Structure 1
Amino acid sequence: MKKLTLNDFEEKFKGRTPKTLGVYRYYSVLVPLVEKNGELYLLYEVRSDSLKKQPGEVCFPGGKVEPDESPEECAIRETSEELNISPQEIQIIAQLDYMHTYSNFTMYSYLGMINYEVVKNMCVNQDEVKEVFLVPVSFLAENEPEIYNFDVIPDVGEDFPYDKINSKTGYNWRKGKSVVPIYEYRGRAIWGLTGRITYNLMNIVTEK
């Protein structure tokens, strides 16, 4: 192998776009606002019972970001596919805060608007969506969710070579924390990442 020079480093990094280190995935969702009879609602989906992952759970429309699209394009495409509506029926208002999770993926979210007449007449994709329901924004603003916190603890195998890092008695691995808000609305639980996105949105819009 040839001796590396400063020029080698400069050439390799010239115009290079930084990317996430390690194995990482990216997802994006739409947080749909719907105005009905002068009142604002958030639209939620109930995932199909036939899905392998998280069947029957409440979520926002969305999915995995494809290599050739932006997170915003993903949110629009997935919403269009799941709700069986035209992308032109989705009006993006703003990008919301994004989350880096302990399970190696980033979740983007976008606040959007869908006309109630479209929602009233749409037939959702039953392969992915069991049903949709609307929650008044006023309910979410007036009712704080229950908040649960738990530690994310590294599970390091006994075969880790502590002797090679001069730490024969073990190592104080960094721990993480996760916050789980849970809203209850008419027998449905809005929780997990969907709950976190909802909670963050309501904190932003009600902040004085």
Structure 2
Amino acid sequence: MIQTILTNHIPNSSHDAAVMLPLVREADQSLSLLFEIRALSLRSQPGEVCFPGGRIDSDDANPVSAASRELCEELGLTLNDIHVLSPSALEPIMSPRRGTIHPFLCYIQNPDTIKPNAAEVSSTFRIPLKYLLENPAEEHQTSFEFSFAKSFPFERIANQSAYQNRKQTYTEYVIQYDGHIIWGLTARMIVAFTSMLKAGDFAV
């Protein structure tokens, strides 16, 4: 009975998202990463810098399909305009609010054809990959405190002292370039990507 239930069970991934890190080859053959600035009319994070992406829909075959679809919708491109480098290029990122985020890499074949969807994207800009590799992100320590509802049976759990007034500290990355500020999950993806390149002795 349990095995039948498990066999027929489909994990709920309705909160999961997929993101595309778009690479562009410049006229001098150097590489840049392309970023979006979210439209000010959006309810969520208006005006912030991000990569193309969004929630994985039930119609998406897989996360990389979702990331490709979102990129095309936001930048006015077609699937023929992009070349996905690998379906598993970067490690997924866990987010308490957004579930699992799946980042992928692609080339935009002809960036001159980009026509941002004004409902979602106010503008785009690029940062040379060389700059990101040679200028490490700022690191800032951030913490948040665990808070339990008054109804939580705190007195009945083991090891109470380990959770009383507990704080979680983590590193928040900040990248500045040409007046733009990049932080949060977008900065974490950049740090993961550039760290992978450095570990592989990638030269620009």
**TM-score by structure 1 length?**
0.85
Q: 1:111 corresponds to which residue?
A: 105
Q: 1:28 corresponds to which residue?
A: 18
Q: Which of residues 144, 159, 167 is equivalent to 2:151?
A: 159
Q: Secondary structure at the match of 1:204?
A: helix
CA distance in 1, matches of 2:2, 2:113: 58
Q: 1:77 corresponds to which residue?
A: 69
Deviations along 1:143-175, one digit per CA (max 9) or x if unpaired, are: 011012222322112221234x256x9563375
Q: Which of residues 54, 74, 80 is equivalent to 1:63?
A: 54
What amino acid maps onto 2:113 in structure 1? N
Which structure 2 residues correspond to residues 27-176 of structure 1 after superposition, within 5 A?
A: 27-37=17-27, 38-69=29-60, 70-94=62-86, 95=88, 96-103=90-97, 105-115=99-109, 118-163=110-155, 165=156, 170=160, 172-173=162-163, 176=168
Contact 1:28 1:75 in 2 (8 A): yes
Q: 1:204 corresponds to which residue?
A: 196
Residue 182 of structure 1 pairs with residue 152 of structure 2: no
CA distance in 1, matches of 2:71, 2:14: 23
Following TM superposition, by how much is the alpha carbon of 1:10 offset from its aligned partner in structure 2, in angstroms? 3.6
Q: Secondary structure at the match of 1:103?
A: coil
Q: 1:3 corresponds to which residue?
A: none
Q: Percent identity?
A: 28
Compared with structure 1, are the counterparts of its residues 178 and 102 closer, same or farther at alpha carbon in structure 2 (3 Å cutoff)? farther
Whose radius of gyration is greater, 1 or 2? Answer: 1
**TM-score by structure 2 length?**
0.86
Contact 2:14 2:57 in 1 (8 A): no
Following TM superposition, by how much is the alpha carbon of 1:196 offset from its aligned partner in structure 2, in angstroms? 0.3
Following TM superposition, by how much is the alpha carbon of 1:123 offset from its aligned partner in structure 2, in angstroms? 1.7
Contact 2:38 2:123 in 1 (8 A): yes
Contact 2:17 2:98 in 1 (8 A): no
CA distance in 2, matches of 1:206, 1:143: 12
Structural RMSD (CA): 2.2
